[in-house]
A = this chain, B = another copy of it.
């Protein structure tokens, strides 16, 4: 299939790599052209503008940081809308606002093109291995015809119906739930640490009992190690998602007190200068609010402690 990927951040690059590996004909575009070069070597065509990139595409996949980036790439004079062939499909996989999803569907339809919302759950490594979860909604035939893209990068596609806004909202809601896990753990670690309990041991208890799920293992693990510099998902991006969730909830008239707490925690993280940190930085904010120093892992120590904890575990 002739596929274009617009946006080669961590996730877009992993998806582009996977699509190439699966034998698709790929065109790539990125605002900063250096990030596109490695793909040229692997057989992709590198385009100089969004319009050029999609001029012959069957499916144009956008994977960008926020609404503004998607709008720039789509609606600009040299954008997707002006250059995508009639009948071809724009698949938006970015996390975007609900109104933008609706607008994209409307404008592409008016231009004789097709549109599908298809945000994903999972981290870039999952994309590289074809293990993402794809949440799709929109015009039924567009979703259907884009399936080869979803199959390449995802382990499963859930189709939510024909409203393009549905997938966008579900993605925001899923991210919100992820953030509640992070804030919940952040408060839990603060209370446990302040009581003098080893956080590694607490983490082992949680993840070996009721909270034996990847999200708890991943974020609890980062917190135990004080490792919030990994930046899989930075605090400003997380705050952007919380804002979009709250805006959608406001429009729908749903109070979301947990989302408000999370919002304030991210705002405070940025106020404290933690712009480059992963969203697990909420543990640092909760620790500081409790008068604790952040955890700084001494690797050797940490290993010893972890293994001590494990040896106390009786099956």
CB-based contact B261/A257 at 8 Å:
yes
Interchain CA distance A268-B290 in the complex, whole Å: 6
Report if A69 contacts B (CB, 8 A).
no
A21: Cβ under 8 A from any B Cβ: no
Binary flags per residue of A278-315, CB closer than 8 Å to B gives 1, else 0: 00000000100111100000000000000000001111
B271–A290 contact, CB under 8 A?
yes
Copies of this chain in the oligomer: 4
A188 located at the interface, meaning its Cβ lies under 8 Å from any Cβ of chain B in the complex: yes
Question: Quick one: which of B208, B256, B268 contacts A187, CB cutoff 8 A?
Answer: B256
State the Cβ distance, A233 to closest chain B Cβ, in Å: 12
- Given known pairs A187-B259, A212-B213, the reply for A267 and B243 (CB within 8 Å) is no
Distance in Å: Cβ of A314 to nearest Cβ of chain B: 5
Residues of B contacting A273 in the complex (Cβ-Cβ under 8 angstroms): 291
A130 vs chain B, min Cβ distance (A): 12
- Chain B residues contacting A270 (CB-CB under 8 Å) are 253
Q: Tell whether, in the assembled complex, residue A197 and residue B254 are in contact, meaning their CB atoms are under 8 Å apart.
A: no
Q: Does more than half of chain A's interface fall in helix, strand or loop, or is it mixed?
A: helix
Are A289 and B261 in contact, with the CB atoms below 8 A?
no
Contact B176 A184, beta carbon cutoff 8 Å: yes
**What separation, in Å, do the CA atoms of A185 and B256 have in the docked complex?**
11
A289 touches B170 (CB 8 A): no
A249 proximal to B (CB < 8 A)? yes
* Contact of B289 with A289 in the complex, beta carbons under 8 Å: yes
Query: What separation, in Å, do the CA atoms of A267 and B286 have in the docked complex?
Result: 12
- Residues of B with C-beta under 8 A to A184: 176-177, 180-181, 184, 258
Some 22 contacts from A to B, beta carbons below 8 A apart, are A135-B205, A156-B313, A157-B314, A169-B192, A170-B202, A173-B192, A180-B183, A187-B259, A191-B249, A194-B253, A194-B254, A210-B214, A211-B213, A239-B250, A249-B267, A253-B270, A254-B267, A254-B289, A255-B268, A256-B264, A271-B290, A271-B292
Q: Apart from A157-B314, A180-B181, what are 5 other A-B pairs with CB-CB below 8 Å?
A: A156-B314, A180-B258, A191-B256, A257-B260, A271-B292
